[in-house]
Amino acid sequence: MKAGAVDFLTKTVGAQEFLDTIVHAVERDRVRHQLEAQFILLQNRYRLLDPRERLLLSGGASGLLNKQIASAIGSSETTVEFHRGQLMRKMKADSLADLVWMAAKLGVFIAPQATDLHDQ
């Protein structure tokens, strides 16, 4: 089981139980491959972001407002909004909720400290 076995069948397994187990294993593998492909796509989109957009993803997904991020990096709120738009397009996000989900999946969900923002 530790090596990835899906089920354990006894030697006297019936044909239907055997087939059901195979179908279940194939379905689990299909779902796993699909999730892995989605994660790779998400990682590839993240790699397209410039450092400022990555910062906005982390800060915005962690609940910081545009004006808080702008203040921390010494920029205008309009500039932050522009970069947030670029970020949304590159990540193909429809909403802030999408960005939060993506950031969580990527592990970039932790809000940076204001000093970290300023150094970017």
pLDDT digits (tens, 9 = 90+) for 59-106: 887 788 888 888 888 889 999 999 989 999 999 999 888 888 898 898
- Rounded to the nearest 10°, the torsion over CA 101, 102, 108, 112 is -70
Residue bearing the bigger pLDDT, 115 or 41: 41
Asked whether the predicted pLDDT for residue 115 surpasses 50, the reply is: no
112 Rama class: left (phi>0) / alpha (psi -120 to 50) / beta:
beta
Query: In this model, does residue 112 exceed pLDDT 60?
Result: no
CA–CA distance, 116 with 45 (Å, rounded to integer) = 23
User: What rounded mean pLDDT belongs to the chain?
Assistant: 83
**Per-residue confidence at 114, pLDDT binned at 50, 70, 90?**
very low
How many CB atoms lie under 10 A from the CB of residue 4?
7
Task: Assess whether pLDDT exceeds 90 at residue 45.
Answer: yes
The CATH code of domain 15-118 reads: 1.10.10.10
Amino acid sitting at position 112: P
The helix (run of H) or strand (run of E) holding residue 103 is helix 96-106
Reported pTM: 0.67
